[in-house]
């Protein structure tokens, strides 16, 4: 049974084209057994009608703070007390800014201030708006206030732009909520604030309200760690693509390990079947170009970048509009490929790059290829592993690695190595971060001069 069964959810809908997805989201939440009541901003009603949401939820949709009938019973306070969960999807740049500022100028923002529920939001806006420092600052403020962020994804947007800012798909939002509740069962259903009948029995404690705030302690406290994970897919036609065997397990293990050490973690993942770890902001992408856009959107306040994803080196010069058909009499197919952008190099060649860790999955000459990549891409640390070893690497639960970095002198000839023996990927991730920490703290000028 879904953990959402019996949960009382206020679904907030703000203005944006992604509001059409909220109808599907409401239906899926009801299907999972949740009791759903919808609150819409004035702008949201320009994109989807309250009648649609009322038909899907079986409940009257609330749209006005100053509704005389509702306000007779302090309706916004009643609704805030009723909710176990407040979910805003889509969350526009405007509503995020107002929430971050503590404003209460409509029904949605007012009940959010009054609610003691677990709070989630799914951002949705143009990629330029999402990457703007003001939006990133507001998102960070909301995380500090206890809001858990779902997405956004990266990809093609309604306006024709490509980049971060797409609202997560409704199915992914429901799955993420169910996973979060399963991973935090002790906060599921709320304890009363005290034994007095004046308090609502479903209002969470302050600790429960802050359950999703960034961890305050640990060696990486205060750090924003960005991690890429999984494969990318490069479309050939609408039904075929080029990809690789990466499962994403190593990148997800690193995200959990960084979170446990107090970091605020952004996990940018290619298509994998793994659930989002609790307390981690996940961005889903498909192609290398989408991953680059998502990475660029995080770098303004990134302290540590770990490029664990297996990014495709090439993509189709032109993706076929329709499925390619076999040509009678032909025994070969020629695909014209062009080089994808080098995401790691794009990070390290910035004017002020973050501390950067790269990965090298090799099948032969591990040390030579890792050393070349370390210097050529100006990495602070590289994690090399032999994916040809049975039981290790792609798709496996275990892994082993050799860590390489330039010595304190910065000489390209003076490379230090450290071997991590085979172990579970979660344990390997912890060992890798433990080894990385002194290097990060020193942040030695180990990068070689920029490649010509």
| pLDDT band at 315; cut points 50, 70, 90 | very high
> Residue 51: its pLDDT value, please?
94
Say how far apart CA 110 and CA 64 lie, in whole Å: 11
List the catalytic residue out of 119, 159, 223, 302.
Answer: 159
User: Containing H/E element for 428?
Assistant: helix 425-442
Three-state DSSP class for 208? Answer: helix
> Residue 97: its pLDDT value, please?
96
- Asked if residue 203 lies in contact with residue 192, where contact means CB atoms within 8 angstroms, the answer is yes
Looking up tokens 């303004």 gives: 300
Do you find a cis peptide bond into 370, omega within 30 degrees of 0? no
Residues 65-77: what's their mean pLDDT? Answer: 59
Three-state DSSP class for 197? Answer: coil
Looking up tokens 């071997």 gives: 419
Q: 224-229 and 240-242 as β-strands: parallel, antiparallel, unpaired?
A: unpaired
Measured CA to CA in angstroms, residue 173 lies from 89, 100, 176, 276 at distances of: 9, 22, 5, 11
Alpha helices in 34-104 (DSSP H): 50-57, 68-71, 75-82, 93-100
pLDDT for residue 95 is more than 60: yes
Q: Which regions of 407-445 does DSSP assign to beta strands (E)?
A: 415-424
> Residue 411: its pLDDT value, please?
59
Is 159 a catalytic site residue?
yes
Say how far apart CA 230 and CA 434 lie, in whole Å: 23
> Residue 76: its pLDDT value, please?
65
Interval 103-145: pLDDT, tens: 988 999 999 988 888 899 999 998 888 888 888 889 888 988 8
Nearest to 70 by CA among 79, 83, 57: 79
Q: In which residue ranges of the chain is CATH 3.40.50.1950 found?
A: 8-209
- Asked if residue 274 lies in contact with residue 326, where contact means CB atoms within 8 angstroms, the answer is no
**What's the mean pLDDT when you consider all of the chain?**
83
Residues 92-100: what's their mean pLDDT? Answer: 95
Of residues 344 and 183, which shows the higher confidence score? Answer: 344
Nearest to 4 by CA among 30, 40, 25: 30
Q: Which CATH architecture has domain 8-209?
A: 3-Layer(aba) Sandwich (3.40)
In the numeric block, which tokens belong to residue 228?
């890429």
Which residues are known binding-site members for CTP?
307-309, 313, 323, 341-344, 359, 373, 377
Interval 348-386: pLDDT, tens: 999 889 999 999 888 788 888 899 989 999 999 999 988
> Residue 362: its pLDDT value, please?
81
> Residue 69: its pLDDT value, please?
58
Say how far apart CA 141 and CA 148 lie, in whole Å: 11
> Residue 70: its pLDDT value, please?
54
- Close Cβ partners of 308 (under 8 Å, ≥ 6 residues apart): 227, 228, 229, 250, 251, 254, 359, 383
Rounded (to 5) percent helix, strand, coil in the chain: 35, 25, 45
Measured CA to CA in angstroms, residue 136 lies from 61, 101, 119, 131, 291 at distances of: 31, 14, 18, 7, 18
Return the percentage of the chain with pLDDT > 90, whole number. 50
pLDDT for residue 59 is more than 70: yes
Looking up tokens 């009938």 gives: 69
pLDDT for residue 21 is more than 50: yes
Measured CA to CA in angstroms, residue 390 lies from 46, 119, 422 at distances of: 57, 44, 11
> Residue 184: its pLDDT value, please?
52
> Residue 39: its pLDDT value, please?
94
> Residue 183: its pLDDT value, please?
56
User: Containing H/E element for 166?
Assistant: strand 162-166
Least confident of 67-71, 173-177, 302-306, 356-360: 67-71
Measured CA to CA in angstroms, residue 4 lies from 64, 78, 117, 180, 287 at distances of: 27, 21, 14, 10, 32
Residues 77-84: what's their mean pLDDT? Answer: 85
Residues 169-177: what's their mean pLDDT? Answer: 88
Which residues are known binding-site members?
307-309, 313, 323, 341-344, 359, 373, 377
> Residue 393: its pLDDT value, please?
64
> Residue 67: its pLDDT value, please?
63
Q: Residue length, the chain?
A: 452
In the numeric block, which tokens belong to residue 280?
């981690």
Say how far apart CA 332 and CA 315 lie, in whole Å: 19
Q: Which residues pair with 410 in a beta bridge?
A: none
Question: DSSP letter string over 221-272?
Answer: TT-EEEEEESB--EEEETTEEE-----SHHHHHHHHHHHHTT-EEEEEE-S-
Interval 234-265: pLDDT, tens: 999 998 999 988 899 999 999 999 999 999 99
pLDDT for residue 160 is more than 60: yes
- Close Cβ partners of 15 (under 8 Å, ≥ 6 residues apart): 41, 42, 43, 44, 46, 47, 92, 94
Q: Which residues pair with 88 in a beta bridge?
A: 12, 121
At 63, phi and psi to the nearest 5? Answer: -130, -15
| pLDDT band at 162; cut points 50, 70, 90 | confident
Q: Which CATH architecture has domain 224-442?
A: 3-Layer(aba) Sandwich (3.40)
| pLDDT band at 211; cut points 50, 70, 90 | very low
User: Containing H/E element for 288?
Assistant: helix 288-296
Interval 268-306: pLDDT, tens: 999 998 888 888 899 999 999 999 999 999 998 999 999
Nearest to 140 by CA among 92, 100, 98: 100
Say how far apart CA 308 and CA 384 lie, in whole Å: 11
Alpha helices in 19-67 (DSSP H): 19-31, 50-57
Q: In which residue ranges of the chain is CATH 3.40.50.10300 found?
A: 224-442
User: Containing H/E element for 402?
Assistant: strand 398-406
């Amino acid at each position: 049974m879904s953990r959402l069964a019996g949960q009382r959810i206020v679904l907030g809908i703000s203005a944006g084209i992604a509001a059409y997805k909220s109808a599907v989201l409401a239906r899926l939440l009801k299907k999972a057994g949740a009791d759903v009541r919808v609150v819409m901003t004035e702008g949201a009603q320009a994109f989807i009608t309250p009648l649609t949401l009322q038909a899907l939820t079986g409940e009257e949709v609330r749209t006005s703070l100053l509704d005389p009938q509702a306000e007779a019973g302090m309706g916004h306070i009643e609704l805030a007390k009723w909710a176990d969960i407040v979910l805003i999807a889509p969350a526009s740049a405007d509503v995020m800014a107002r929430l971050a500022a503590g404003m209460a100028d409509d029904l949605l923002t007012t009940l959010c201030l009054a609610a003691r529920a677990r709070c989630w939001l799914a951002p949705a806006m143009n990629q330029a708006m999402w990457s703007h420092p003001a939006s990133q600052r507001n998102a960070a403020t909301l995380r500090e206030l206890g809001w858990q962020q779902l997405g956004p994804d990266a990809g093609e947007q309604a306006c024709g732009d490509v980049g971060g800012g797409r609202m997560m798909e409704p199915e992914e939002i429901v799955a993420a909520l169910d996973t979060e509740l399963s991973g935090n069962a002790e906060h599921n259903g709320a304890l009363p604030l005290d034994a007095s009948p004046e308090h609502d029995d479903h209002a969470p404690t302050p600790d429960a309200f802050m359950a999703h705030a960034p961890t305050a302690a640990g060696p990486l406290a205060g750090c924003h760690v960005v991690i890429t994970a999984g494969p990318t897919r490069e479309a050939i036609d609408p039904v075929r693509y080029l990809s690789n065997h990466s499962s994403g397990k190593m990148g997800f293990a690193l995200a959990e390990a960084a979170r446990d050490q107090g970091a605020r973690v952004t996990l940018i993942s290619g298509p994998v079947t793994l659930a989002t770890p609790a307390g981690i902001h996940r961005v889903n992408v498909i192609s290398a170009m989408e991953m680059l856009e998502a990475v660029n959107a995080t770098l303004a306040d990134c302290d540590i970048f770990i490029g664990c994803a297996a990014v495709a080196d090439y993509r189709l010069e032109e993706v076929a509009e329709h499925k390619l058909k076999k040509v009678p009499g032909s025994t070969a197919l020629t695909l014209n490929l062009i080089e994808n952008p080098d995401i790691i190099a794009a990070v390290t060649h910035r004017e002020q790059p973050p501390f950067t860790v790269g990965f090298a999955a090799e099948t032969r000459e591990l040390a030579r290829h890792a050393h070349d990549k370390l210097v050529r891409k100006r990495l602070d640390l590289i994690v090399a592993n032999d994916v040809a070893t049975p039981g290790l690497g792609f798709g496996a639960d275990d892994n082993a690695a050799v860590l390489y970095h330039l010595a304190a002198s910065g000489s390209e000839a003076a490379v230090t190595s450290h071997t991590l023996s085979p172990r579970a990927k979660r344990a390997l991730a912890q060992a890798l971060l433990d080894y990385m920490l002194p290097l990060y703290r020193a942040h030695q000028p180990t990068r070689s001069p920029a490649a010509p």
